[in-house]
Amino acid sequence: WNFADSSASPRSTFSRVGAPRDQLCGKARFVFQSVIMTAGEMNQNPLLTLDALGACGCVLPTEVQAAMDVSLTLKARELGVRAFLFWGRLCTESGADYYVARAHNGAKDLDGAIVPNPGNKFYYSRDGVNWLDLEPVSSETTARALKITCWLTGDPAHVFHVAQPVPELEPKPEPVEGEEPTPDEEAEPLPPWEITEAEYMMCRINAIHGSCDLAPEGMFITDPHGNISVNPMFCVERPDQPSAYATSCGSLANAAPGKWGVAFDTFKRQTTIRNFEYPGFFAYYSHVSNTVGNLYFGDGLRNADLAFTV
């Protein structure tokens, strides 16, 4: 069915698309894994993405956007990376939101394995001027952070407590005849795990980044040196079709029903894509300028009721 978005153009409606997960497209998966970050090579000015997705609610305060116009370029030069891209905005309970950006330094294809170049990392800021790095998190921390379902507080040093499962006691041997059975002992609860808000934020970013970031089919190629670069002859022939775009899970046409919404503005010749599993993620492709970009504006939480919204 069609989902009419109130912030979209009158000519645009978001059409939910999807199909069984087992129909994944291998080509689309390779394209996305080659990208690592879709908008990095194609559109070096992330503020153009803000302009394209402003009607979807991806709006920054004037002073923050003005600061990013300078700070993103300076940070890229400081880190020595190809581009420093604005990734999105994470809302918090206190209203002190996090502005997230990512250092993009490309990737290489080594014997069929896509290896990111050194320097690919996420950063956050409170004012759009000073950027602090987010350290990578382990798989154990990621699994524990999945149990947290509350909003971010706005304090990077805040500690979330995650309860550990109660250990199982070893079975006791059967009592000998004539002896009284010993009473059952209760297992003592273990101290809860502690996860800082910075770690929790990094886990949320990884989940959204890995599930949602997309690129058009055929946008990237591998040069003779193994570097992933933009195809100079790239052009989306059917920009209004979900099959023209792919994520790490495959083509959007093969995604779970109701997960993605695609809208095509025939006047602007622009496709706008939104994700319903992580509400707040938007992407666009302009058939006029041949540019693409992704942004996320939300609380970072996953929509657990996706199956009931189809």
Higher-confidence residue of 278 and 32: namely 278
Read off the pLDDT of each residue in 235-258 and give the average, rounded to a whole number.
Answer: 88
pLDDT in tens, 150-200: 999 999 999 999 998 877 767 766 766 766 666 666 767 788 999 999 999
Q: Residue range 244-257: average pLDDT?
A: 88
In a 13 Å sphere around the CA of 305, the CA atoms on its Cβ side amount to 2
pLDDT for res 3: 32
Mean pLDDT of 259-272: 93
**pLDDT(12) > 50:** no
Helical H runs in the chain?
Answer: 26-35, 39-42, 46-52, 62-79, 139-145, 197-212
Residue 20 has pLDDT above 50, yes or no: no
In this predicted structure, the answer to whether residue 29 has a pLDDT above a threshold of 50 is no
Model pLDDT for residues 104-143, shown as the tens digit of each residue:
887 777 776 777 777 889 999 999 999 999 999 999 999 9
pLDDT at site 310:
58
**pLDDT > 60? residue 277:** yes
Residue where the block lists tokens 């000073």: 130
pLDDT for residue 185: 67
Tokens 């980044």: give the residue: 209
pLDDT at 58: 94
What is residue 33's predicted lDDT score, i.e. its pLDDT? 35
Query: What pLDDT, on the 0 to 100 scale, is given for residue 204?
Result: 96
Distance from C-alpha of 287 to C-alpha of 88, rounded to nearest angstrom? 23
Query: Among 36-40, 97-101, 168-172, 260-264, where is mean pLDDT lowest?
Result: 36-40
Question: With contact defined as beta carbons under 8 Å apart, do 254 and 198 qualify?
Answer: no
DSSP 164: P
pLDDT at 45: 63
pTM of the complete model? 0.80
**pLDDT grade, residue 231 (50/70/90)?**
confident
Span 245-273, average pLDDT: 90
pLDDT at position 196: 96
Q: Where is pLDDT greater, at 186 or 286?
A: 286
Three-state secondary structure call for residue 243: helix
Backbone angles phi, psi at 48, to 5 degrees: -65, -35
pLDDT at position 156 is 93
Q: Mean pLDDT across the chain, nearest whole number?
A: 81
Highest mean pLDDT among 58-62, 117-121, 219-223: 58-62
- Give the per-residue pLDDT at 37: 38
